[in-house]
Amino acid sequence: MRTLNLGILAHVDAGKTSLTERLLFAAGVIDEVGSVDDGSTQTDSLALERQRGITIKSAVVSFTIGDVTVNLIDTPGHPDFIAEVERVLSVLDGAVLVISAVEGVQAQTRVLMRTLQRLRVPTIIFVNKIDRGGARYDQVLQEISSKLALTIAVMGTARKLGTRSAEFAAFGPADAAFTDGLGGVLAGHDDALLAAYVADEATISYGRLRAELAAQVGKSLVHPVFFGSAITGAGVDCLMAGITELLPAAEGRTGGPVSGSVFKVERGPAGEKIAYARMFSGTVRIRDRLQFGEGSEDKVAAISVFDHGSAVRRASAGAGQIARLWGLAGVQVGDVLGAHRATATGHYFAPPTLETVVTPARPADKGALHVALTTLAEQDPLINLRQDDVRQELLVSLYGEVQKEVIQATLASDFGLDVGFRESTTICIERPAGAGAAVERLHEAPNPFLATVGLRVEPAAIGSGVGFQLEAHLGSMPLAFFRAVEDTVRETLRQGIYGWEVTDCVIAMTHSGYLGKHSLGHQRFNKSLSSTGEDFRNLTPLVLMSALQRAGTEVCEPVNGFRLEFPADCLPALLTTLARLSAVPRAPEIRGASCVLEGEIPVGRVHDLQQRVPSLTRGEGVLESGFARYQAVRGLIPARPRTDRNPLNRTEYLLQVQRGARGGG
């Protein structure tokens, strides 16, 4: 049996969860197709998912098509839950991108397809809802080609669109127009096929065309397009055949070193942590000691794999499979299991750009709320829980307002906590404006610590994050002290001069020094006369922030790109509104009676624009918006209250360090 790890992706309401149900029914896993509207689907298990009819958490189900075991991962379509999609992408062998035959290519469709292309995930397109009124065929194909900029292979034709009897008829070897068109599409990516096609297209066998199609789909060069209806089942059998024929199955050696990637973490009924991992090579067994993350190690207590619709307990899991693993207490989303595997790293989508304060209805629940939010942050690292000890507040990051409802419902149902939220604020970043350096030496005032630390801050390429490099001699002090400095640098940069995270910079350690282990007479080691890691952890924030102040920082706010389609006569009113919202539109494109306008707008103004578009366009305007970049703030620079010991205020910082030392003693 071959294994195919398949992702289902779509803009919200395009019908991907309904398609998942139909695939499970067609494969014989379920006896009845569940309904999103009725809350009876297999993959939407959360109460809120059933209430709202949207997918919030990714879910895994399994079914068999011929000799292929398909592990199907149903992902959220709502942009507020894009982080769930992000985690799945690195474990996929292939994907099905679902598009509505009525709405066509939508905002989130573009975001998802761009990411699938960038990661070269082989993708089939399924145009759903051909049974719905307003379903289109030629126009949707044109949108796929133009808006998604894809090379497509149309695999059949749709008939009786907009009726319950709508159907999809697959093309075959007898369809001359199809074989001729397919040969032309494939020849554009294969010189040998091009030569044969130019010489005499009749000599190219249909079998060769299908084999070459599968090869080019596997390289993400061509994207097959199927039409159908998840509700009626039309076209789904053709889609299933295309999935097994055209998408590449999992690769990996079951006998090689253990290597996997954790894409989801959840808690079991007893509070135990369960890691979902795609295995790329090797075999993991119960009671194996498994390495993960940054040098952590735990014993695997139990394993389950997905088989015929659900997870079943097994003694082992091998390459290509998706395993649920118990016993890895410290595991986190994104951890590599076992041997290192070179993969694309970092976030595929934009980081969350909003932040809100979570407040318990009962002040006595503050401690329980912190524990609960910490648990949720384990499952969703981009929640990015922050605690403000000064104001006794808990803050979480968001992609959108819908996430507030999800967090609120989860805290109520899973933890019995009633919470509210403050108004969301925009999350900015800081970038160094120039270079700056500072050093504090051992036994030299005003340095009270037994350590020497010198640091230089320099700007780096946009999007590069934070780099750390050593210019001090590596052998000048124990490696643990260097690590203490680097770890503290990264922690300190979470709050820059204005309180925002500092990024796109390189920090160089230029000076180092320490005192070795000393004692008085025949006494034991006296840490008051010897350097410890704590000395370096306490001194580093002072040196780093001093260097950062000399470099200066530029506060940057997130900016969304937008696309507006509306009646052309509404252009003057829209331009006036965009100017008031600090948006920067590009030249409008007039298309007869309609107009398309693209540009950029600060994230904090997007909600206002969304609210105003209907009234400004007589309800005919369509707005698409997504993160584009960070730009320098013009005018009043926003600051975020600090939640650390504030190394910008030396006196206050040292007092807090001393209090911490006394409390720890």
User: Which CATH code fits 354-427?
Assistant: 3.30.70.870
> Cα–chain-centroid distance for residue 164?
37
Let me know if the fold of 2-246 is the same as that of 430-551+643-664: no
pLDDT at position 53 is: 43
pLDDT at position 84 is: 59
Q: Fold for domain 430-551+643-664?
A: Ribosomal Protein S5; domain 2 (3.30.230)
What lies within 8 Å, CB to CB, of 40 at 6+ separation is 34, 50
The pLDDT-based confidence of 86 (bands split at 50, 70, 90) is low
pLDDT at position 197 is: 72
Q: How far is CA 530 from CA 384, 457, 486, 518, in A?
A: 36, 28, 20, 6
pLDDT digits (tens, 9 = 90+) for 33-59: 766 544 545 544 444 444 444 444 557
Q: How far is CA 34 from CA 12, 17, 18, 38, in A?
A: 18, 9, 8, 8
What is the mean predicted confidence (pLDDT) over 284-311? 87
What is the mean predicted confidence (pLDDT) over 277-289? 93
> Among 206, 215, 287, 277, which residue's Cα sits nearest to residue 246?
215
Q: Running DSSP on this structure, what letter comes out for residue 254?
A: T
CA atoms of 326 and 275, how far apart (whole Å): 7
Q: Which carries the bigger pLDDT value, residue 517 or residue 443?
A: 443
CA atoms of 127 and 561, how far apart (whole Å): 26
Compute φ and ψ for 462, nearest 5 degrees: -60, 130
pLDDT digits (tens, 9 = 90+) for 616-648: 999 888 787 778 899 999 889 999 988 889 999
pLDDT at position 346 is: 47
Least confident of 23-32, 173-182, 320-329, 543-552: 23-32
Q: How far is CA 363 from CA 202, 366, 389, in A?
A: 78, 6, 15
pLDDT digits (tens, 9 = 90+) for 577-599: 999 999 999 999 998 888 999 99
Q: How far is CA 292 from CA 268, 314, 378, in A?
A: 20, 21, 15
The pLDDT-based confidence of 376 (bands split at 50, 70, 90) is confident
Q: Which carries the bigger pLDDT value, residue 378 or residue 79?
A: 378
Q: Running DSSP on this structure, what letter comes out for residue 81?
A: G
Q: Where are the alpha helices (DSSP H) in 558-627?
A: 571-580, 603-616
Q: How far is CA 430 from CA 228, 348, 395, 435, 502, in A?
A: 48, 21, 19, 14, 5
User: Which CATH code fits 2-246?
Assistant: 3.40.50.300
The pLDDT-based confidence of 80 (bands split at 50, 70, 90) is low
Residue 265: pLDDT above 60? yes
Residue 650: pLDDT above 90? yes
Cβ proximity of 551 and 496 under 8 Å: no
pLDDT at position 610 is: 86
pLDDT at position 520 is: 45
Q: Residue 366 has which token pair?
A: 């503050």
259-338 architecture in CATH? Beta Barrel (2.40)
Residue 81: pLDDT above 70? no
Cβ proximity of 70 and 63 under 8 Å: yes
Q: Which carries the bigger pLDDT value, residue 56 or residue 287?
A: 287
pLDDT at position 350 is: 63
Cβ proximity of 14 and 77 under 8 Å: yes
Considering the chain, what is the average pLDDT of its residues? 86
CA atoms of 520 and 522, how far apart (whole Å): 6
Q: Which carries the bigger pLDDT value, residue 662 or residue 61?
A: 61
Number of H helices, E strands in the chain: 16, 35
Q: Which carries the bigger pLDDT value, residue 369 or residue 332?
A: 369
Residue 398: pLDDT above 90? no
pLDDT digits (tens, 9 = 90+) for 508-555: 999 999 998 754 444 454 456 789 999 999 999 999 999 999 999 999
The pLDDT-based confidence of 486 (bands split at 50, 70, 90) is very high
Cβ proximity of 404 and 398 under 8 Å: yes
Compute φ and ψ for 174, nearest 5 degrees: -80, -10
Q: Which carries the bigger pLDDT value, residue 165 or residue 379?
A: 165
CA atoms of 206 and 172, how far apart (whole Å): 9
DSSP string, 501-543: EE-SEEEEEEEEE------STT----GGGS--HHHHHHHHHHH
pLDDT digits (tens, 9 = 90+) for 120-158: 999 999 999 999 999 999 999 999 998 888 999 999 999
Residue 264: pLDDT above 60? yes
pLDDT at position 662 is: 63
Cβ proximity of 338 and 260 under 8 Å: yes
Q: How far is CA 470 from CA 441, 442, 475, 533, in A?
A: 17, 19, 11, 17
Residue 447: pLDDT above 60? yes
The pLDDT-based confidence of 664 (bands split at 50, 70, 90) is low
Q: Fold for domain 554-632?
A: Alpha-Beta Plaits (3.30.70)
In percent, how much of the chain has pLDDT > 90? 53
Q: Where are the domains of the chain?
A: 2-246, 259-338, 354-427, 430-551+643-664, 554-632
